[in-house]
């Protein structure tokens, strides 16, 4: 019988490969174009909610990339209080599979990939939907994907002002300092969502709420602004969409899915305020050129992304190819 081996890539293995911010953004932008061209298989996500007293849940994401000939599954935990144990809120594993034989190709630490591809989705969305001259970023959230949101957005826009906030001063202050050191520019930690968002050109809501709370109000959206809300629990004022000219989503089927109680715009969906007619486009159609993105400077645009399995697979596959070329990782016998 033919021996089957698969490559295991730890977080340290991935760190050794020298993957750049531009590499991650390019991988995500490329696979979003594949979405628009119908060159992916994107399955509905599922949730596993264990009997753990509400400490967290697991998301299971599945997909296939036709042009790259790779299939895969990601399992990622969402455990908000993990910071108390010195652990990431989201830890993930990605299994890459050969679609021709069904054999496993690799097991990849998906923790950094989950954070980075989320930040890259925010950045690619902004590239197509925000004003090109956006100069002020306001960001809610200081853990998990927050770092990648700010860093990858700044790689495109080179902001003149960055404001960050979170519920805990002991979280937002070090976050701002680390960003300042990394970006080589001032990043200001502020006390409230209003201070962070009001009047910003680009606004990102990546909060870690346990109960819905209207942190993001429609008054903050000035003409020409761009908002990305994607916290697991809604942080939006219920009637915020009254102040939005265009709504773009990553995938409408997943956005409206009734099996999930999670999502930044879940209250708007449940109240009938967000409908298919209200959605301008999916981001893949915008990136592929099938639908327009921003059409004038005064449009107020909201981009809601919940996470596409295909972006995880695209980044993991790019990393696997780098690892194969560099002979990085541990080869494990499968059978």
Distance of alpha carbon 77 from alpha carbon 161, whole angstroms = 33
Question: Are the C-beta atoms of residues 248 and 125 closer than 8 Å to each other?
Answer: yes
Q: What is the dihedral of CA 138, 142, 146, 148, to 10 degrees?
A: 110
Residue that the structure tokens 């989503």 belong to:
249
List domains and CATH numbers for the chain.
5-113+310-333 (3.30.1780.10), 129-307 (3.40.50.720)
What digits encode the pLDDT tens for the residues 196-231?
A: 999 999 999 998 777 777 888 999 999 999 999 987
pLDDT in tens, 26-76: 999 999 999 999 999 999 888 899 999 989 999 999 999 999 999 999 999
Under a CB-based contact definition with an 8 Å cutoff, are residues 299 and 246 in contact? yes
Strands 40-42 and 57-65: antiparallel
> What is the pTM assigned to this prediction?
0.92
């Amino acid at each position: 019988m033919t021996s089957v081996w698969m490559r295991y890539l730890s977080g340290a293995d991935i760190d050794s490969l020298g993957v750049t911010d531009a590499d991650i953004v390019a991988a995500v932008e490329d696979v979003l174009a594949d979405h628009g061209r119908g060159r992916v298989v994107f399955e509905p996500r599922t949730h596993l909610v264990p009997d753990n007293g509400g400490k967290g849940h697991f998301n299971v994401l599945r997909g296939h990339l036709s042009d790259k000939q790779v299939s895969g599954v990601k399992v990622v935990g969402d455990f908000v209080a993990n910071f108390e144990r010195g652990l990431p809120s989201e830890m993930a594993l990605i299994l890459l599979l050969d679609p021709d034989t069904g054999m496993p190709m690799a097991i990849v630490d998906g923790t950094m990939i989950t954070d980075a591809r989320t930040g890259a989705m925010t950045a690619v969305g902004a590239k197509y939907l925000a004003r090109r001259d956006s100069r002020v970023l306001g960001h809610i959230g200081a853990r998990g994907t927050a770092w990648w949101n700010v860093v990858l957005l700044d790689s495109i826009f080179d902001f003149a002002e960055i404001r960050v906030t979170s519920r805990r001063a002991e979280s937002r202050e070090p976050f701002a300092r680390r960003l300042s050191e990394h970006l080589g520019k001032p990043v200001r930690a502020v006390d409230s969502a209003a201070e962070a968002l009001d009047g910003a050109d680009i606004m990102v809501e990546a909060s870690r709420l346990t109960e819905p709370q209207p942190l993001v109000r429609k008054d903050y959206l000035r003409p020409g602004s761009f908002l990305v809300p994607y916290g697991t629990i809604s942080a939006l004022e219920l009637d915020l969409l009254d102040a939005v000219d265009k709504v773009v989503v990553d995938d409408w089927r997943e956005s409206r899915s009734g099996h999930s109680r999670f999502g930044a715009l879940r209250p708007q969906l449940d109240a009938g305020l967000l409908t298919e007619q209200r959605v301008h486009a999916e981001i893949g159609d915008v990136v592929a050129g099938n639908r327009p993105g921003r059409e004038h400077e005064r449009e107020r645009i909201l981009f809601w992304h919940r996470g596409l399995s295909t972006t995880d697979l695209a980044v993991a596959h790019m990393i696997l190819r780098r690892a194969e070329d560099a002979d990085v990782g541990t080869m494990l016998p499968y059978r």
